[in-house]
Amino acid sequence: MAGTRQAGEILPKKDPPPKSTITGANCSLILGALLLAARSARLPRATAAAAALTGLALFVVMVAWMPVSSGPR
């Protein structure tokens, strides 16, 4: 058809959102390791949970918005 245009011609192309290293798997591994370490140190349950959550928050702050590399350049 002569008058039709494709969606790519009309809509602007957007970059995909940046990938992050913060995934549910990473968070659960960090949280589990920190909780295990805190309980191994014989900290009370509430203190161990607070320490693990604090460590998880620090992990998230440390790796937030770091793009996942696609390999060496």
Q: How far is CA 22 from CA 12, 44, 59, in A?
A: 29, 28, 9
Q: What is the pLDDT of residue 71?
A: 55
Question: The tokens of 47 are what?
Answer: 């203190």
Q: What is the pLDDT of residue 60?
A: 87
Q: What is the pLDDT of residue 65?
A: 63
14-67 pLDDT per residue, tens: 766 666 677 888 899 999 999 999 999 999 999 999 999 999 999 988 887 655
> pTM for this one?
0.61
Q: What is the pLDDT of residue 5?
A: 60
